[in-house]
């Protein structure tokens, strides 16, 4: 009947939208890993190496990846120095630091949100 067909169509559209959201999230997570690796590499590079055309190119590529993620609603969770929030942060250890109690004092791996939902 018409009602059954309409229900089938709605269910199919909903399943398709769920699949697209899942695939987009998984791709974004893979790109977040690449951005993290760029940042690790850049943090270990000597400043004179970063001032070369090659170094500047690598920096631009990293910025382009970050911008592409932001355009898709993916943003890094800025945690260092902020108050610990279990909705956004995962505590791995309690360490002594110059920060006040209950403050994120070190980042092991950056977290990310996608459309305001934590994905990592």
* Residues spanned by the domain of 97: 2-118
Tens digit of each residue's pLDDT, the chain (120 residues): 889 988 989 999 999 999 999 999 999 999 999 999 999 999 999 999 999 999 999 999 999 999 999 999 999 999 999 999 989 999 888 888 888 888 999 999 999 999 999 999
Number of domains in the chain: 1
Q: Is the pTM of this model over 0.85?
A: no
Q: Which among 86, 91, 89, 95 has a CA at the least distance from the CA of 120? A: 89
Residue 88 has a pLDDT of 92
């Amino acid at each position: 009947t018409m009602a059954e067909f309409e229900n089938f169509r709605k269910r199919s559209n909903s399943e398709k939208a769920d699949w697209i959201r899942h695939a987009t999230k998984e791709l974004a997570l893979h790109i977040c890993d690449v951005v993290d690796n760029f940042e690790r590499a850049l943090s270990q590079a000597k400043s004179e190496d970063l001032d070369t055309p090659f170094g500047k190119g690598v920096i631009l590529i990293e910025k382009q990846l970050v911008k592409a993620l932001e355009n898709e609603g993916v943003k890094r969770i800025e945690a260092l120095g902020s108050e610990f929030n279990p909705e956004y942060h995962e505590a791995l250890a309690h360490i002594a630091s110059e920060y006040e109690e209950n403050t994120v004092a070190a980042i092991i791996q950056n977290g990310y949100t996608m459309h305001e939902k934590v994905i990592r």
